[in-house]
């Protein structure tokens, strides 16, 4: 089976996996567009996302306060494995039903948040490490509405920064507009 979320994750995840695989060990200390995170911190955060959102797919509980270092031997392969598991976890239509006990929002929004993190943090890591990144166009298109919906609360909680002023959205590529709405400067650094 498949859901819209699992299809979008399947399109987006390999692109971020490629970026993670392209990170050299001597780049782990570099700054990223995601304030307060160097590359190592952001990869660890993305690991947390792909693991915890597997549990959230089946309406399980997660612990965000633990901050393990996932970057031990074989971490690039493990990241790829966990992203495949994430996609599989969201492929059952029942994952999109109801409200997430752990997040207090509709399950479809929670699944979209995993997609958002994979897409935006894929870009963060790519630009921080000098890699090319082309997100899944269908994922970016889907994420515009989610960012608009989550924006006010995400800004209050410090998850998004204030939107970056840009030309009118029709003058920007879709990804640049999405990044600007999350508080990122599309031309970073």
Residue 167: per-residue pLDDT: 67
Does residue 132 surpass a pLDDT of 90? yes
Does residue 15 surpass a pLDDT of 80? yes
| Backbone phi, psi, residue 182, to 5° | -90, 0
Average confidence (pLDDT) over 1-20: 97
CA 47 to chain CA centroid, nearest Å = 10
Domains of the chain: 4-139 (1.20.120.450)
With 0-12 / 13-18 / 19 or more C-beta atoms within 10 angstroms meaning exposed / middle / buried, residue 122 is buried
* Cα–Cα distance for residue pair 18/23, rounded to 1 Å: 9
Residue 171: per-residue pLDDT: 60
Question: Phi-psi bin for 115: left (phi > 0), alpha (psi -120 to 50), beta?
Answer: alpha
The total of other beta-carbon atoms located within 10 Å of residue 115's CB is 26
Does residue 170 surpass a pLDDT of 80? no
pTM of this structure: 0.93
Residue 118: per-residue pLDDT: 97
Q: What is the mean pLDDT of the chain?
A: 92
The total of other beta-carbon atoms located within 10 Å of residue 146's CB is 18
First-to-final CA distance of the chain: 41
User: 17-67, pLDDT tens digit by residue?
Assistant: 999 999 999 999 999 999 889 999 999 999 999 999 999 999 998 888 888
Does residue 169 surpass a pLDDT of 60? no
User: 70-101, pLDDT tens digit by residue?
Assistant: 999 999 999 999 999 999 999 999 999 999 99
């Amino acid at each position: 089976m498949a859901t819209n979320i699992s299809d979008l994750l399947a399109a987006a995840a390999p692109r971020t996996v490629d970026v993670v695989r392209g990170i050299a060990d001597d780049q782990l200390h570099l700054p990223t567009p995601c304030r307060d995170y160097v590359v190592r911190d952001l990869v660890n955060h993305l690991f947390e996302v792909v693991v915890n959102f597997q549990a959230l797919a089946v309406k399980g509980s997660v612990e965000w306060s633990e901050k393990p270092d996932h970057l031990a031997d074989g971490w690039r392969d493990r990241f790829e494995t966990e992203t495949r598991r994430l996609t599989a976890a969201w492929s059952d239509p029942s994952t999109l039903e109801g409200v997430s006990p752990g997040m207090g929002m509709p399950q479809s929004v929670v699944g979209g948040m995993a997609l958002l993190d994979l897409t935006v943090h894929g870009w963060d890591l790519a630009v921080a490490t000098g890699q090319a990144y082309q997100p899944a166009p269908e994922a970016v298109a889907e994420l515009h509405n989610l960012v608009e919906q989550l924006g006010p609360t995400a800004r209050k909680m410090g998850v998004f920064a204030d939107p970056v002023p840009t030309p009118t959205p029709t003058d920007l590529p879709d990804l640049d507009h999405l990044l600007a709405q999350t508080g990122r400067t599309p031309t970073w650094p």
